Structure 1
């Protein structure tokens, strides 16, 4: 008897609702100024097996510029027909606190008629930031995951995208970016998702652990008083990042992807009292033409007599009722009871929103 009671108690505990898990502050956002920076550059890839840009004008100009660095100048009007070279754009992301000498992964993408970059080598190219200053230099052999093959009759086979590739560690940082947090009047922590409740809870958690130094200025930012100096502030930021916080529950939201028919409903969605009836009307038209032959030895001609069969089928679904404050499980149970497809569910949710019974934000992608 006792064994059965213990098993029943274990089952109840297994299905009991779980309490909200505390999260570290570092998982909720970032400090202002501590962010990556995007870099971009233009370069030339050489060593291609006849899959380059051929006679593309800016590719030949770029190659002429590279050759000019080594004292080689082509005569005016001469087109080198660069089948083994391609003009490319180079993109990279400079992490926060990156220092000169560190390596960055880069992505190289063809910008012209090059069919494939497989086997190519990127020549030395500068990478610039939004301020047009050089922050890294890129060079190296490309790793291309795609494959493209073309036959003489014009048929082509492509696997993935052969006109783009990556160079792991293909760029070297030449200049560091100042984050600016050491000279700012105070530290600012920005939440990834705006929420007034979460912002207040983050400020309270910091004050409980470190004293009254934090205050939420809006739904995103928490201002934190800190002593000046990079060393002192780095130590303070490291302590703040690991303070646990219980974030606020997510707002009630229904996400509808109209292209794929995907519908996602979070657990905060509630339905006001409402009655829903949803059915389908199917009209099927089938043509059965009949060939009519004239009587023997008559002057008639063969004719086709049209014959149409029209059927109307209406699927009758029972009306179901949502009780006050219906939860997610009750919504799913009611919709499944009538066998609604994702498209039908979208129509029902939109109608509930228009009727004012859906207490959630309806987002259509």
Structure 2
């Protein structure tokens, strides 16, 4: 966004004026092309159809460009960046998401540093090959694996955190890349872009006082194929018989139930405590240390690919883009 000082409101940024607002980009040793949606949207309006548009833009420029920077509102950036990571199979070029907490043009904006460094990261090469070959999210001096991120602050410049995985790079006086944290380099294969995302999914956060009616009504949602349960601690849930009965019947109907922790850090250790043994016996899918953003987008991706019920649990519990330990 950019501030309109005449009306004191925020309006959509005109990407054609990118270099005018940030002339420092001319100093980078790379050529920059800009592409934008015909009608810019607020990130709160982001949806899977827009993810497909983004993936298609990257696909159409993949052979002619060395790297990509996606400017995105921070509210849903972790969702979009996680989804794009799943959708781009055999990715061997950097796709870096970034944004800002204050709009371009604001006196104290963080937009300039975030964008300049993101472009620099996207242009990094070693022996003629990109250093970063995955989807990352750069914010406030840190490059994080996108599908490991979650937005943790609406006011501070350090808006994003990767609670269960270290940074891929840090920006200080020098730009330091932590190669041991990067995904292993893949053999050059043709990029495959998956554009079918199934949105018949849901998330329910457990809380003291959750009623049988609410849980049942959520699971009775027409067309629902999978539900993420944000469980307590390391994957714990109430042991009352109605909880087990409702989940068991849903699983028998073919609905996938996935457990992720509602804690910011850590993950699900199903069966460690007595209060998660009933979920383990029901063969609830273990989301391990995934964020809710990575889990819900992985659900959409796997269901969109038509993964069968028999293999779904095994595939979901396997890391495919570095999203889980």
Structure with bigger helix share is 2
Question: Which bin holds the TM-score, normalised by the shorter protein?
Answer: under 0.3
TM-score under structure 2 length normalisation: 0.20
Q: Which has the larger radius of gyration?
A: 1
Greater per-residue strand proportion: 1
TM-score by length of 1: 0.18
